């Protein structure tokens, strides 16, 4: 085997290469995003995912091999989710003041997410398994997969749809809210978390700590509420 090829075989089997690719692609994507004046469509998550998939396809690497390196980054999602308690604690006075509007907006948003997915998907003729997999799309991945499984959707399809929803929210969310004239960090943040879970929350943190804290709150509460609402609504609509 020629030296270059044997070096490739050596590196491709080890986590370091894929860990470096993950961080490297993100750094490049982030520079690109900054370079173009934070143009929404150049969202760093979207661009890095596209870049990495291209590299994996071209090099014939499967996801399992890639994930052996990427898991070190993926692991930090857990502690980072716990860390959202810090900005949330810094906003606790405001939380106490706003609990009523928060509860109402959360309920309205959660119902809209579920019912609009059901309604639009039904109108556009999606089959039942796909439709049920789409229903929990606005909820953080582990909860969404659990809901899909419970109601007869396909959990692995749901995982993909959840990620795509997060990317749509991160790309289009803040521009949409700006067009609607909504400038309050509390309303913008909560909406990002309820509609687009963690990926929306990550985007909200880039806009301000206050928006990020409310987004994290929306993400957590919406996960619990949707898990309770979906089985109940489907039962009432006689879909399950």
| Footprint of another protein on 181-240 (CB under 8 A) | 182, 184, 186-188, 190-192, 194-196, 198-199, 201-203, 205-206, 212, 216, 218, 220, 223-224, 227-228
Phi then psi for residue 91, to 5 deg, are -100, 15
14, 108, 141, 208, 231 from 146: Cα distances, Å: 32, 22, 9, 31, 11
Q: How far apart (Å, rounded) are the C-alpha atoms in residues 219 and 4? A: 47
Minimum distance, C-beta of residue 237 to another protein, in the bound complex (Å): 16
Q: Is 106 in the site for another protein (CB under 8 A)?
A: yes
Distance of CA 21 to the CA centre of its chain: 21
Radius of gyration of the chain (CA): 20
Q: Is 26 in the site for another protein (CB under 8 A)?
A: yes
- Residues with Cβ within 8 Å of 210's Cβ and at least 6 positions away in sequence, in order, are 87, 91, 94, 185, 186, 189
CB of 1 or CB of 64, closer to another protein: 64
CB of 6 or CB of 35, closer to another protein: 35
CB of 2 or CB of 198, closer to another protein: 198
Whole-angstrom distance between the N-terminal and C-terminal Cα of the chain? Answer: 57
- Torsion 211-213-215-217 (CA) sign: negative
Q: Which of residues 115-144 bind another protein (CB under 8 A)?
A: 116-117, 120-121, 124-127, 130, 134, 137-138, 140-143
Quick one: which segment of 2-10, 34-42, 61-69, 232-240 binds another protein (CB under 8 A)? 61-69
Q: How far apart (Å, rounded) are the C-alpha atoms in residues 171 and 45? A: 10
CB of 67 or CB of 235, closer to another protein: 67
Q: Is 49 in the site for another protein (CB under 8 A)?
A: yes
Binding-residue pattern over the window 64 to 103 for another protein, x denoting contact by CB under 8 A:
--xx--xx-xx-xxxxxxxxxxxxxxx-x----xx-xxx-
CB of 8 or CB of 30, closer to another protein: 30
Our separate counts of H helices and E strands in the chain read 12, 0
Q: Which of 11, 16, 41, 180 binds another protein (CB under 8 A)?
A: 180
Q: Which of 132, 148, 151, 161 binds another protein (CB under 8 A)?
A: 161
């Amino acid at each position: 085997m020629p030296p270059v090829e044997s070096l490739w075989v050596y590196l491709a089997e080890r986590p370091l290469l894929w860990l470096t690719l993950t961080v490297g692609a993100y750094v490049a994507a982030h520079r690109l995003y900054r370079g173009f004046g934070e143009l929404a469509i150049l969202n760093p998550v979207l661009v890095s995912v596209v870049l990495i998939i291209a590299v994996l396809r071209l090099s014939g690497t499967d996801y399992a091999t890639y994930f052996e390196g990427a898991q070190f980054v993926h692991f930090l999602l857990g502690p980072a989710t716990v860390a959202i308690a810090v900005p949330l604690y810094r906003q606790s006075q405001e939380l106490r003041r706003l609990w009523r509007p928060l509860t109402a907006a959360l309920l309205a948003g959660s119902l809209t997410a579920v019912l609009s997915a059901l309604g639009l998907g039904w109108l556009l003729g999606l089959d039942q398994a796909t439709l049920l997999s789409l229903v929990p799309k606005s909820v953080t991945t582990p909860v969404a997969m659990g809901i899909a499984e419970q109601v007869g959707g396909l959990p692995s399809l749901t995982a993909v749809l959840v990620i795509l929803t997060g990317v749509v929210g991160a790309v289009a969310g803040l521009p949409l809210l700006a067009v609607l004239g909504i400038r309050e960090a509390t309303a913008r943040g909560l909406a990002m978390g309820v509609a687009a879970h963690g990926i929306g929350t990550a985007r909200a943190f880039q806009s301000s700590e206050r928006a990020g804290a409310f987004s994290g709150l929306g993400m957590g509460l919406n996960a619990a509420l949707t898990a309770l609402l979906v089985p109940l609504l489907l039962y009432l609509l006689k879909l399950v």
